[in-house]
Amino acid sequence: MLSNRTTVLLVTAVAPAVWGSTYLVTTELLPPDRPLLAALLRTLPAGLLLLAFTRRLPRGVWWWRALVLGALNMAVFMALLFVAAYRLPGGVAATVGALQPLIVAAFSVGLLGERLTGRTLVAGAAGVLGVGLLVLKADARLDFLGVAAALGGVLSMALGVVLSKRWTSPESPLTTTSWQLVAGGLLLLPVALLVEGGPPVLTAGNIAGYTYLTTIGAALAYVLWFRGIRALSPTNVTFLGVLSPLVATALGWIVLGQSLTALQALGALLAVGAVVGQNIRRTRTPKEKTCESSFSEHVDLSAGGSSPKPSPVATG
């Protein structure tokens, strides 16, 4: 029988696995050269949908906290992510993104008082090496602005993830996720209109792609992601992010008929080893036991019921 901690990890892992399908959906269904529109339609409609379901607005400090988290986790991250995607080969951007667990671990030392362990450093290095072998190509070119954008996006979301843990909301993760998505979407709206203009005429395929990214890729995935962060160490959760390039590679192989080399297979094994190595069972602290108990009480996606009380470390 699976432990509660394992169940939390498996449920949270659905989010990066879903995000691994974004590349396939974008290339096959979305209109070309409209990255900011994709980011906008992935965030604002999803946030409004969740907000209509929860019917709860921020109160007090959560007005500005939701804006900060929405900027870091959604608006700034996605804008820089798409800049990197246009200026870099996907393999380079994904390899830079694999640094996120190590950056989250560093932020967690200062903001959450967590200890940086040797296991985290080894697992982080294995994750970066694994993703690099999986997606990097020998002729990959480096662009300074593209690398800077990719690194900036990683730093933005890493800080947002740690602050999401530090600022534990009295509301459910479903509610706080809706606030972040709406805030991020509203920040992206003027940028998208200024840079890309109005939306193009959409085909049935375009609508299907945007609908998938809004409902599954954002509304569902982000709720599961932030539930996991609330229940577990953000460092452990972000190691699950290496599943995204794994899923993207697998979909390219299965759906698009792309080749898979022996080095890529080795990279996949290293990446999976990094996730398992970081999250392998260990003695839990009392704080983690409390968080996992809270997660099990809220494993359904309803907004009702009482929310877990913030721990002393998690309140900022």
Instruction: Please determine, for residue 18, whether its predicted confidence score (pLDDT) is greater than 80.
Output: yes
Predicted TM-score (pTM) of the model is: 0.83
Percent of the chain with pLDDT over 90: 59
297: pLDDT strictly greater than 80: no
Q: What is the pLDDT of residues 189-244, one digit of tens each?
A: 999 999 999 989 999 999 999 999 999 999 999 999 999 999 999 999 999 999 99
Mean pLDDT for the chain overall: 85
Q: Which pLDDT tens digit goes with each residue over 121-149?
A: 999 999 999 999 988 776 667 788 888 98
Predicted local confidence at residue 140, as pLDDT = 66
Helix H or strand E encompassing 123: helix 118-135
User: What gap in Å lies between CA 94 and CA 75, rounded to an integer?
Assistant: 19
Burial of 204 (0-12, 13-18, 19+ CB in 10 A): exposed
* CB-CB contact of 141 with 89 (8 Å): yes
pLDDT at 22 over 90: no
Say yes or no to pLDDT of 315 above 50. no
144 and 46 Cβ atoms separated by less than 8 Å = no
Q: What is the pLDDT of residue 298?
A: 45
Q: What is the rounded distance in angstroms from the CA atom of residue 313 to the CA atom of residue 163?
A: 11
List, for residues 273-282, the tens digit of each pLDDT value: 999 999 886 5
Give residue 49's pLDDT. Answer: 96
